[in-house]
């Protein structure tokens, strides 16, 4: 009886060690992330892998604004005009030059519309985290190490996670003129008349004694 009990214990210990060895061997043939199921002689191995990449979404908006301001510029300067005419002697056939020098004060006025064009560029950048999950399902008849691969399916799933957007504002200004007009106002401020000598080369030369000059 004692001999039979010892044989049974030895058999159970031997069987237990063998089962443990098989289980350890089966588990070590897969990755930790693999999900392995066995049913009706079919082993299903599901492998899940993830790939993470980073991208960004850039959105640009442009706005244009115009503003108009009336502008004026005045400047003053002097201009001298000289006019020479001939004057005839009231008695003799003599002539002399009469020079009239007129001084003007001229005001130059220029008016225009000053237009300011403001272009605003708004750039919004949103970071994107892309998670690509690849799920591969393989089915074997029996154990994968000795069994036959009977099917393989791959499923890809893409998830996107959006970060906090950042906004950048850029302004460009350009100024130019429109409707420019210029006019002058002229005012006399001085007149100077100078008379020259009589030209006595006429026929009655020498007959001006006591005459009118």
pLDDT digits (tens, 9 = 90+) for 65-85: 999 999 999 999 999 999 999
- For residue 135, how far is the Cα from the chain centroid? 43
> Domain for residue 2, yes or no?
no
Q: Per DSSP, what are the bridge partners of residue 100?
A: 83, 193
Query: What does pTM read for this prediction?
Result: 0.49
Q: What is the pLDDT of residues 117-173, one digit of tens each?
A: 999 999 999 999 999 999 999 988 877 666 688 899 999 999 999 999 999 999 999
Percent of the chain with pLDDT over 70: 77
Total number of domains in the chain: 1
Distances (CA, A) of 73 to 42, 76, 181: 96, 10, 11
Q: By residue range, what is the domain housing residue 136? A: 32-195
> Domain for residue 124, yes or no?
yes
Q: Would you place residue 90 in the very low, low, confident or very high pLDDT band (cuts 50, 70, 90)?
A: very high
């Amino acid at each position: 009886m004692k001999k039979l009990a010892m044989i049974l214990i030895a058999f159970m210990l031997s069987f237990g060690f063998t089962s443990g060895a098989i289980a350890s061997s089966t588990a070590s043939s897969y990755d930790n992330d693999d999900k392995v199921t066995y049913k009706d002689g079919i082993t299903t191995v599901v492998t899940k892998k993830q790939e993470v990449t980073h991208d960004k979404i850039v959105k640009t908006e442009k706005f244009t604004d115009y503003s108009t301001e009336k502008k004026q510029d005045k400047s003053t300067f002097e201009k001298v005009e000289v006019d020479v005419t001939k004057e005839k002697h009231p008695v003799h056939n003599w002539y002399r030059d009469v020079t009239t020098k007129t001084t003007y004060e001229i005001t130059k006025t220029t008016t225009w519309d000053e237009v300011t064009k403001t272009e605003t560029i708004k750039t919004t950048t949103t970071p994107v985290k892309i998670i690509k999950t690849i799920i591969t399902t393989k089915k074997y008849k029996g154990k994968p190490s000795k069994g036959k691969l009977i099917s393989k399916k791959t499923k890809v799933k893409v998830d996107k996670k959006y970060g906090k957007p950042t906004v950048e504002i850029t302004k460009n200004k350009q100024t130019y003129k429109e409707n420019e007009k210029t006019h002058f106002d002229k005012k006399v401020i001085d007149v100077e008349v100078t008379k020259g000598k009589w030209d006595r080369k006429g026929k009655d030369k020498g007959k001006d004694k006591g005459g009118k000059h």
